Amino acid sequence: MQADPIRIEETINTSIEKLWSALTNPEEMAQWYFELPKFEAEEGFQIHFSSCDYLHRWVVTKVIPHHIIEYKWSYPDYPGESLLNVELLYINEYATKLVLIHEGVETFPQDRAEFSRASFEEGWNEIIKNLHEYVEETVG
């Protein structure tokens, strides 16, 4: 049985264009998310990178510019695969609703605390906090 996905909804005080840039521009992503050698918001783009002592693999599966980015997320050294979907909803020119849905985290080894649902939820809450700070204080 598949577990309920992790779902986080936040209103972020910036335009949808600026938030999209923060989510897809590797220079901006390095400020609040992961430092990546390259990132392209286009379907089929793949990247491997190391962070927190783990090799990550992302494959972009869906892009609707300024609205949705989705990618498969796995760790090549461990079984399991998850799907991350980030949707942006226009509120007004100064605010955007971010809806993050991460499903499949239960497919990762559950005997490792860092792959637990609680660990992912804690990580996403910290990452979204960093995103808030970055876009609201840095790019406005």
pLDDT band at 137 (very low <50, low <70, confident <90, very high): confident
Side-chain half-sphere CA neighbours of 112 within 13 A: 12
**pLDDT tens, position by position, 25-54:** 999 999 999 999 899 999 999 999 988 788
| Residue showing tokens 């918001």 | 41
At 47 the three-state DSSP class reads: strand
Model pLDDT for residues 55-94, shown as the tens digit of each residue: 999 999 999 999 999 999 999 999 999 999 999 999 999 9
d(Cα 8, Cα 87) in Å, to the nearest integer?
11
Q: 49 with 76: CB under 8 angstroms?
A: no
> How large is the C-alpha radius of gyration of the chain?
15
Q: Is 45 exposed, middle or buried (0-12, 13-18, 19+ CB in 10 A)?
A: middle
**Max Cα–Cα distance, the chain, nearest Å:** 45
Quote the CA–CA distance of 109 and 133 in Å, as a whole number: 32
pLDDT band at 136 (very low <50, low <70, confident <90, very high): confident
pLDDT of residue 140 exceeding 80, the answer is: no
d(C-alpha 80, C-alpha 111), whole Å: 13
pLDDT at 138: 67
Which pLDDT score is estimated for 119?
95
